[in-house]
Structure 1
Amino acid sequence: MTSPRHVLLVEDESAIAELIRTALDAAGLRVTACPGVQTAGRALGQAGKDRIDLAILDLTLPDGPPDPLARRLDDAGIPVIAISGDPDRLTAFPVAYRLEKPFRIRALMDLVTTALPG
């Protein structure tokens, strides 16, 4: 039996994080969410603990941008979906998958399906 794919979710807005988590859970994915004020810092620590198959990163976090985390994930070959309400920041962020807030959960799940390694 294979274990479910693991998604690291870095989103400080609890309502958005819960919506995403619910959709990922319904798709049979294991989710580690890093909520709260120290979001990027917590996620950096989490990235070193568990095998992660995909990360969903909000680009505007209370403790600063997740750029170091994104670099670490990229170096490890882990795909990243960047989400943001700032279209300029989103366009400039160096990842293959981007989604502007507000978004439809179906659009996010389509990106998750595309981004998860085969």
Structure 2
Amino acid sequence: MGQKLQPEHATTILVVEDEFIIALDLSETVRDMGFRVEGPYANKDHAFIAIDQEMPDVAILDVLTGDGEVFPLADALTDAGVPIIFHSGHMRPSELQERYPMAQAAAKPCRPDRLMAMIEEARAQAKQQAH
């Protein structure tokens, strides 16, 4: 029987979300697309530890987590060239894009098909930056 080959580098998507049900939903959407989930993390401090060990290809970030605003993490990811998708119920997408012009932003709740399209766009952006 044929063995399913794993790609040498599966796309890794960091998920930072402190609302359990939403974190679970985001993670399942990422897995359903065939990507590897890093997290989900309920706070940015744990996510900082994770990116120190391995930088993700894309990040989905809630703006307000249990330990405050996620902007220091977003700054570190932006500096590393990681495309960001903000997923927030606290800030309008236009406010986030003023601060992070290269990022995408969606208000909660975000339909899965919209999120999937945003992930694909972020992956394309990451591939462009890698070349």
| Aligned partner of 1:55 among 59, 68, 78 | 59
Larger radius of gyration: 2
Partner of 2:110: 103
SS in 1 for 2:53: coil
Residue 33 of structure 1: CA displacement? 1.3
Measure, in 2, the Cα distance between the counterparts of 1:21 and 1:76.
22
**Identity percentage over the alignment?**
31
Alignment of structure 1 residues 1-118 onto 2, 5 Å? 1-36=7-42, 39-88=43-92, 90-93=93-96, 94-95=99-100, 96-116=103-123, 117-118=126-127
Task: Compute the displacement of 1:86 (Å).
Answer: 2.2
TM-score by length of 1: 0.90
The Cα offsets for residues 17-68 of structure 1, whole Å up to 9 and x where unpaired, read as: 11111111111100011434xx111111111111310000000111000111
The question of whether the paired residues in 2 share the 8 Å contact of 1:8 and 1:56 is answered with: yes
How far residue 102 of structure 1 moved from its aligned partner, in angstroms, is 1.3
User: How many residues end up aligned between the 2 structures?
Assistant: 115
Letter in 1 for 2:94: T
Q: Partners of 1:98 and 1:91 in 2: how far apart?
A: 8
- C-alpha contact 2:27 2:40 (8 A) present in aligned 1: no
State the shift of 1:92 in Å.
2.1
Tell me the C-alpha RMSD between the 2 structures. 1.4
Does the residue aligned with 1:103 lie in a helix, a strand or coil? coil
